[in-house]
Amino acid sequence: MNDMFEKLDCSPQDRLIDRSNRHLNYLRVSITDRCNLNCKYCLPFSCHSKQSHHDILRYEELLHLIRIFRDLGISKIRITGGEPLVRKDIIPFLSQLHEINGIDDLAMTTNGLLLQDHLVKIKSAGIRRLNISLDSLNPENYHRITGHDVFQKVWEGILAAEKMGFYPIKINVVALRGINDHELIDMARLSLSHPFHIRFIEYMPIGDSTLQLEKPLFTPEILEQISTLGELYPVERGKMDGPARRFRFKNAKGEIGFISPISRHFCRTCNRLRLTAGGFLRTCLLSDHQTDLKTPLRSGFSDQQVADVILSAIRQKPTSHDLNSKQAGQIASPMSAIGG
């Protein structure tokens, strides 16, 4: 399949190394901006102007771009959204993605609502690693946060994924003061009895979400709370590790991780790029700057020319985000449009 694509004329220095000498090998691909939940911290207040089908990259366009990224040095792909499982015909797309040589790591982030219906097919399409968002273990609170009374279905999907041997299953918990902070210990406790990696994520105030928090909740405070469950032992970092600082309780089946984009940002080691469903490349999650790849692709640019557009965007990747110095809402794009 790869023979269909012209070989890119790429010398090693053209590869995805940015001006801060960061080696970018990880691409997050949002395949839709639509979602079947309305998480109050994620969706925009002004409600979602969904993109038309024409504006969204077709699967063959996504695969084409991903091959170009692969030729430039991307080896790790995460499929996200909106909610990726709401997009029609995702399974054949995942299978084709899995067949692309050079992509060593293929994962998906989902809210889990449609997981049970898709698990067998997702597994046979080559996905082994899942991130599932779960901000509450209490059905009523889950309903309040997501706008949908579907906790049980999501939870059953998570247990079914565990039973089918997906590993690791990372449970993403965005820590929100006054909303789920009373549940963080229960979430952490899950790691004792299940092989889940519970990842506490600091809320990033971007887009015009409906959320009004009186005070942010940062990792040191979360860590202090859940340390009441027992001593946390650091887990050695793996080669493919992301920004999470990882720990484990004694004899626990799973792990605890902290992702602290605000209190301890990890820009210096950021290896990520993001492709939005509308075909824009974002080199920093916390910057509104984006580069159009869809127009060059649709106007018949060669792979080399598209690669040149990508390389020139990479050169502009911000050294560091400045969210700490900005007011909430100054990053206009909602997370639901970028993919997290």
What are φ and ψ of residue 84, in 5° steps?
A: -60, -35
Q: Rule CB under 6 A: say whether 336 interacts with ligand SAM.
A: yes
Partners of 259 in the β-ladder: 201
Binding region for ligand SAM (CB under 6 A) out of 13-21, 103-111, 277-285, 311-319: 103-111
Q: Rule CB under 6 A: say whether 203 interacts with ligand SAM.
A: yes
Closest CB to ligand SAM among residues 158, 306: 158
The residue with its CB nearest to ligand SAM is: 340
Binding mask 204-223 for ligand SAM (x = CB under 6 A): x-x-----------------
Closest CB to ligand SAM among residues 6, 288: 288
Binding region for ligand SAM (CB under 6 A) out of 44-52, 200-208, 271-279, 309-317: 200-208
Number of residues that bind ligand SAM (CB under 6 A): 20
258 vs 236: CA distance, rounded Å:
14
- In angstroms, what is the minimal distance from the CB of 54 to ligand SAM? 22
Q: Rule CB under 6 A: say whether 109 interacts with ligand SAM.
A: yes
Q: Rule CB under 6 A: say whether 180 interacts with ligand SAM.
A: no
Binding region for ligand SAM (CB under 6 A) out of 107-115, 187-195, 266-274, 305-313: 107-115
54 vs 184: CA distance, rounded Å:
41
Residue 231, number of CB atoms within 10 A of its CB: 9
Closest CB to ligand SAM among residues 109, 191: 109
19 vs 317: CA distance, rounded Å:
8
- In angstroms, what is the minimal distance from the CB of 285 to ligand SAM? 9
DSSP state of 331: S
240 vs 230: CA distance, rounded Å:
28
Please give the single-letter amino acid code of residue 130: L
Evaluate the CA torsion angle 11, 26, 311, 16 in order and state its sign. Answer: negative
Closest CB to ligand SAM among residues 109, 219: 109
Interface of this chain with ligand SAM, residues 24 to 63, rule: CB under 6 A? 35, 41-42
For residue 232, give both structure tokens. Answer: 């946390």
Binding region for ligand SAM (CB under 6 A) out of 56-64, 80-88, 186-194, 220-228: 80-88
- In angstroms, what is the minimal distance from the CB of 226 to ligand SAM? 18
250 vs 119: CA distance, rounded Å:
31
Which spans in the chain are helix H?
59-72, 90-98, 115-124, 139-146, 151-163, 184-193, 219-226, 294-298, 303-315, 335-338
Closest CB to ligand SAM among residues 223, 335: 335
6 vs 63: CA distance, rounded Å:
14
Please give the single-letter amino acid code of residue 243: P
110 vs 132: CA distance, rounded Å:
5
Binding mask 133-172 for ligand SAM (x = CB under 6 A): x--------------------------------------x
Please give the single-letter amino acid code of residue 72: L
68 vs 275: CA distance, rounded Å:
13
Closest CB to ligand SAM among residues 80, 219: 80
Residues that bind ligand SAM (CB under 6 A): 35, 41-42, 80-81, 83, 109-111, 133, 172, 174, 201, 203-204, 206, 335-336, 339-340
